[in-house]
Amino acid sequence: MPFAQLVIGPPGSGKSTYCSGMLQFLSAIGRKASVINLDPANDRTNYESALDIRNFITIEDIMSQEGLGPNGSIMRAMEELEQNWDEFMEDIKELGNTDYLILDCPGQVELFTHHHSLRALFLKMQKMEYRLVVINLIDSFYITSPTQYISVLLLALRSMLQLDLPHINVLSKIDLLSNYGKLDFNLDFYTEVQDLNYLLPLIKKESPTLLGERFASLNEAIADLIMDFGLVEFEVLAVEDKKSMISLLSVIDKATGYTFGSTEIGGDTIWAEATRQGGYLGSIGDIQERWIDHKQQYDEQERVEREERMKDFDQLSSRKMTPEEEWEEEVRRWEAEQGVKIGKGFKNEL
């Protein structure tokens, strides 16, 4: 049973960087993974793609043939891909046996809020028995302003409803958050999407004009809607931080059913189960402490520990630790800390 991560998110939210990091990580722990570049504008990927939409279609071609601008051309390229999906799918099949496909999608939000092509492609993959999970990356910068936060919540909700697949929303670049000044609330307020009514006075302050009052009312209505659905939650990610990648993978594994090692469980059950259990991120207070309150101490402590591990390894084996061995070591430590297995052979052990 192949699994696929569909990596979406607004422009610059870290999709391609994530795909590259996840590819390295999965490969290091012995899962066969391949990245497919679905972004026709992505001419310099920071990973080696197993398959590239640009081999079929480039936005330069569409721009010159159809007289469209770069953004319209990306939408058009997705429509063309949808029409020629069988050919593309044949190429995916030729990639052979992969545990995980990782799809690096374009950043136009229309693609996952109301345009049909991406959804149609994902549905086709689902029919081919891929176990899909959407990874929706949203730059954590947006939680620094109440109205922007409401806006990304709406975006996340809209994508969840439109794509109708197991969906993991992730606040990306969490390592940069402490540079943006003090948040109005603790980080868990934002990740758990707690009572948004607390934001309302701040929204009113952010928009003091008459028009601003109507804007505040709009935000209030959206906040109510988001709370009514109660679907949106966020994980956090700093792509260079191995622990945060490992934690996120454990959440992904639950959402896809990889954790269960069974092909029998239906998608709904898995999603419900994954949602019920929540992440393995430790208590959410740890995240506030790790990424905001004591970030520098944690960074320093982790740097020192890593150097010591490297030195010990060096002395014992008279060679440097490979990146794969570093990942394995980090996974082992994480497993010991959490009492949960994620590494090689995990599927068979269950």
Ligand X SMILES: Nc1nc2c(ncn2[C@@H]2O[C@H](COP(=O)(O)OP(=O)(O)OP(=O)(O)O)[C@@H](O)[C@H]2O)c(=O)[nH]1
Contact residues toward ligand X (CB under 6 A) are 9, 11-17, 39, 42, 107, 172-173, 175-176, 237-239
Is residue 136 part of the contact set for Mg ion (CB under 5 A)?
A: no
Task: Give the Å distances, CA to CA, from 6 to 47, 63, 126, 335.
Answer: 16, 26, 12, 26
Give the C-alpha separation, 39 to 59, whole Å.
9
Give the C-alpha separation, 26 to 49, whole Å.
15
Give the C-alpha separation, 258 to 252, whole Å.
8
Q: Smallest distance, Å, CB 42 to Mg ion?
A: 5
Q: Smallest distance, Å, CB 47 to Mg ion?
A: 10
Nearest residue (CB) to ligand X, 50 versus 216: 50
Residue 11 interaction partner, one of ligand X, Mg ion, none, beta carbon < 5-8 Å per kind = ligand X
Is residue 16 part of the contact set for Mg ion (CB under 5 A)?
A: yes
Q: Smallest distance, Å, CB 45 to Mg ion?
A: 8
Nearest residue (CB) to Mg ion, 20 versus 219: 20
Is residue 288 part of the contact set for Mg ion (CB under 5 A)?
A: no
Nearest residue (CB) to Mg ion, 16 versus 247: 16
The residue nearest Mg ion at its CB is 16
Instruction: Mark the segment that binds Mg ion (CB under 5 A) among 12-20, 53-61, 90-98, 200-208.
Output: 12-20
Instruction: Mark the segment that binds Mg ion (CB under 5 A) among 15-23, 129-137, 162-170, 231-239.
Output: 15-23
In order, the DSSP letters of 74-91 are: HHHHHHHHHHTHHHHHHH
Nearest residue (CB) to Mg ion, 16 versus 147: 16
Give the C-alpha separation, 341 to 216, whole Å.
46
Q: Smallest distance, Å, CB 16 to Mg ion?
A: 3
Q: Smallest distance, Å, CB 110 to ligand X?
A: 13
Residue 9 interaction partner, one of Mg ion, ligand X, none, beta carbon < 5-8 Å per kind = ligand X
* Edge-first strand listing for the sheet containing 33-37: 51-52, 33-37, 100-104, 3-8, 131-139, 167-172, 235-236
Instruction: Mark the segment that binds Mg ion (CB under 5 A) among 14-22, 112-120, 231-239, 264-272.
Output: 14-22
How many other CB atoms are there within 10 angstroms of residue 286's CB atom? 13
Nearest residue (CB) to ligand X, 137 versus 226: 137
Nearest residue (CB) to ligand X, 18 versus 271: 18
Contact 164/268 with Cβ under 8 angstroms? Answer: no
Q: Smallest distance, Å, CB 130 to ligand X?
A: 22
Give the C-alpha separation, 125 to 119, whole Å.
10
Task: Give the Å distances, CA to CA, from 149 to 97, 117, 136.
Answer: 40, 27, 15
Residue 172 interaction partner, one of Mg ion, ligand X, none, beta carbon < 5-8 Å per kind = ligand X
Q: Which residues of 184-220 are buried (b: 16+ CB within 10 A; e: fewer)?
A: eebbebbbebeebeebeebbbebbeeeeeeebbeebb
Contact 153/232 with Cβ under 8 angstroms? Answer: yes
Nearest residue (CB) to ligand X, 7 versus 216: 7
In order, the DSSP letters of 209-262 are: SHHHHHHHHHHHHHHHHHHHH-----EE--TT-HHHHHHHHHHHHHHHTGGGT-
Give the C-alpha separation, 167 to 319, whole Å.
42
Q: Smallest distance, Å, CB 311 to ligand X?
A: 27
Q: Smallest distance, Å, CB 71 to ligand X?
A: 11
The residue nearest ligand X at its CB is 107
Contacts to Mg ion by CB under 5 A:
15-16
